[in-house]
A and B are shown apart, each in its own frame.
Chain A
Amino acid sequence: MDARFVPLFVIIPLASAFLIPLFAKLWQRSADLIANAVGAVLAGLSVYGALSLFTGSQVLVYRLGGWHPSLGITLAYDHLTALVVLAVNIVGLCALLFAVRYLDHYTGRWKFYALFMLILVGLNGVSVTGDMFNLFVFTEIAAVSSYALVAFGTDFDELEAGFKYMVIGEIGGAAILLAIALLYAKASTLNMAVVSQVMAGFGRTPLFWLIVAMFLVGFAIKMAMVPFHAWLPDAHPSAPAPVSALLSGVFIKVLGVYAMSRVMFNVFGLSRANAAGFFNLLIGFGVLSIVAGGLLAYAQKDYKRLLAYSSISQIGYILIGLGIGNYWGIVGALFHILAHALGKGLLFLTAGSVEHATGTRDLDRLSGLEKRMPATAWSYLLGSLSLAGVPPFAGFFSKFFIIVGALSADMYWLAILAALFSTVTLGYLVKVANRAFFARRDREPTAAREAPAVMVVAMLGLLVLTIVLGVGFKPVVDRLVGPAANVLLQGLGYAQGILGM
């Protein structure tokens, strides 16, 4: 299979990030057109990429500049990459579509799109790269653009959230950079495949665990697992809604979960069999995130802040899935990346739609929006059912697989906890529905009009995909998520796929 399409995931948004400011000087609205066209092309390309893996090849390797892997940067496209890239670009497309009208009450439209394109560069780059330092660079490209976008409204709260996010995020970035420096000192190469071969012959010394710990801290901050989550509940609500959808939907998973699992499983070769302590630690953090995130979400009065805490809680599910470490646990975790990307992306878009229509996110000041904004209300209700794990939506199957994984690993208490806390998820999501969408006896329905057609299309697109992913879970698991889980489970076998070309 030809791997020539792989660098396009980075080239296209990068080139458009520079072209958008130029064309916007000539015609302001050209930014909308370019950004949405790029979003559509990237989404199409990611579908093409996923389909091209169906023909049987395990990994597509692309050598940047034609250099040999030990010298140059390689890009690798396997099932895990395909899954993550698919989530990024589909949520990205819907968010861009939503932004066309949502940005009406912001200024500097082209700046938004240029930064958004740079986030896509970073996320796609992290997903496709096979090089350690490249991973760091793309992480920072995405992170720095997101700092600016969180503060995009330039009010006091937004600037404060952006600054806090930047300080904490850079501590994580510094930890990752330090870990890469230590790794380079030990392995004398930065190519992931070559590094993993060197690490295979390197004992489990204190230095090894120091490197693992530095990576874990760095990625833990990027994925906002408890107790590294302090930035997220401020940052995600402050960003414009399309950006919140991208940040909560895919950003924390690509920079945190995907990058961590790629490094831990495929580069360091950790598995439940040889590093049970590490995996128990993941489960511990996962449980902490589920419990703390879920309970804190209950207490929120701000629509988007509640969703942000919910993201922390859902990251916990992904973590325990990875921590269980067997096939079904990892399938559940990866399926939850998809399900949560679509579901949480959708919920943040509905929050944007409500804010656009009423000018507030305060749940105490909203009421009875279901009559005035039926499309938004039903998108919210069905999306939240998916996140809470109600069949036949996508969220049910991811939690189901995680529970199956826990049961087959004899972790009964974990299975019970996961099931119990999906009712908590349902609880806090219903709270929003009760306050904002259903009529309340003690107060008049809030005056509002349904969101513009483009925004409704963006929300319905994500809703349809959530339902399709749920109903058609079988082929998705067989063709995409299952092979992606096997990529992680093969551990150091990853290197052979890359170097064996």
Chain B
Amino acid sequence: MRGMSPVVQVIARLLAGLLFLFGTYIVMHGHLTPGGGFAGGVLVAAAFILMSLAFGSVEHTERNSYTLSSVVESLGGVLFVCLALAGYVAVAYFFQNAATYGTGTPLKLISGGMILPANIAIGIKVGAGLFAVFLALGASRFVMKD
């Protein structure tokens, strides 16, 4: 992919950090405010997509990003299944909130038991997954070869 003009690049560099921060915020506060792992993960992926559109990339970096993001995506999935299994093993039921029952307490980040780590796992999976989808669509001409 070719990069875009310096104007776009400067603005994208300013925005990407904010987008990433905002995405992380949405992921982390999923149990307190609207949003959660999926919505935040999409924002995080958008930050990466913005950067790669603005600055462009060459084949080998795209390949590496694709490999890395698919690995991270799988790790997010494994993490989520492990969290769900924790409820199965530690208490009784799959997906049971193993740490504490109850919803989040407003303004307290560490509350709601397993909802926060589960949201983080979903955020990782969605963020990396969407970015991998973007790379696969944009770069299918060489990614599909292996």
Contacts and interface: CB of A to CB of B under 8 A. Distances in A.
Interface string B115-138: 000000000000000000000000
A18 B77 CA distance: 6
11 contacts: A11-B94, A14-B81, A15-B78, A19-B78, A21-B74, A62-B93, A64-B94, A65-B95, A65-B97, A66-B92, A108-B146
Contacts of B75: 22
A107 interface: yes
Chain A interface main SS type = helix
Nearest to A62: B93
Interface of A: 4, 7, 11, 14-15, 17-19, 21-22, 25, 62-66, 107-108, 154
B96 interface: yes
Nearest to B145: A107
Given A19-B78, A21-B70, A108-B146, A11 B85 contact: yes
Nearest to A75: B94
A66 B91 contact: yes
Chain B interface main SS type = helix
B78 A7 contact: no
Interface residues of B, number: 21
Contacts of B95: 64-65
Contacts of B92: 4, 66
A13 to B, nearest CB: 11
A235 B146 CA distance: 24
B96 A65 contact: yes
Contact of B71 (A7, A22, A63): A22
B58 interface: no
B96 A66 contact: yes
Nearest to B93: A66
Contacts of B146: 107-108
What are the 7 tightest A-B residue pairs by CB atom distance, in nearest-first order?
A: A18-B77, A7-B94, A65-B95, A66-B93, A15-B81, A21-B74, A18-B78
Contacts of A66: 91-93, 96
A64 B97 CA distance: 11
Given A7-B88, A15-B81, A25 B71 contact: yes
Given A15-B78, A18-B77, A19-B74, A63 B88 contact: no
A116 to B, nearest CB: 16
B107 interface: no
B87 interface: yes
Contacts of B93: 62-66
Contacts of A7: 88, 94
B71 A21 contact: yes
B11 interface: no
Interface string B46-84: 000000000000000000000100110011011001001
B144 interface: yes
A15 B77 CA distance: 8
Contacts of A14: 81
B74 A22 contact: yes
B94 A65 contact: yes
A107 B75 CA distance: 23
Contacts of A64: 93-95
Nearest to A20: B74
Interface string B90-111: 0111111100000000000000
A64 B95 CA distance: 6
Contacts of A62: 93-94
Of B92, B95, B144, B146, most buried by chain A (CB within 10 Å of CB) is B95
A241 B65 CA distance: 33
Nearest to B125: A18
B114 to A, nearest CB: 10
Given A18-B78, A62-B94, 10 more contacts: A11-B85, A15-B81, A17-B77, A18-B81, A25-B71, A63-B93, A64-B94, A65-B97, A107-B146, A108-B146
A14 B95 CA distance: 14
A115 to B, nearest CB: 13
Of A66, A107, A154, most buried by chain B (CB within 10 Å of CB) is A66
B23 to A, nearest CB: 22
Nearest to B75: A22
A365 to B, nearest CB: 30
A477 B67 CA distance: 50
A66 to B, nearest CB: 4
Nearest to A23: B74
A203 to B, nearest CB: 37
B68 to A, nearest CB: 10
Contacts of A15: 78, 81, 85
A498 to B, nearest CB: 16
Contacts of A19: 74, 78
A108 B77 CA distance: 20
Contacts of A25: 67, 71
Contacts of A21: 70-71, 74
Contacts of B96: 65-66
Given A14-B81, A18-B78, A64-B93, A154 B144 contact: yes
A17 B146 CA distance: 19
Nearest to A19: B78
A473 to B, nearest CB: 36
Given A11-B94, A107-B146, A108-B146, A65 B78 contact: no
Nearest to B85: A11
Given A18-B74, A22-B75, A11 B91 contact: no
A438 to B, nearest CB: 41
Nearest to B67: A25
A4 B94 CA distance: 9
Nearest to B144: A154
A4 B91 CA distance: 12
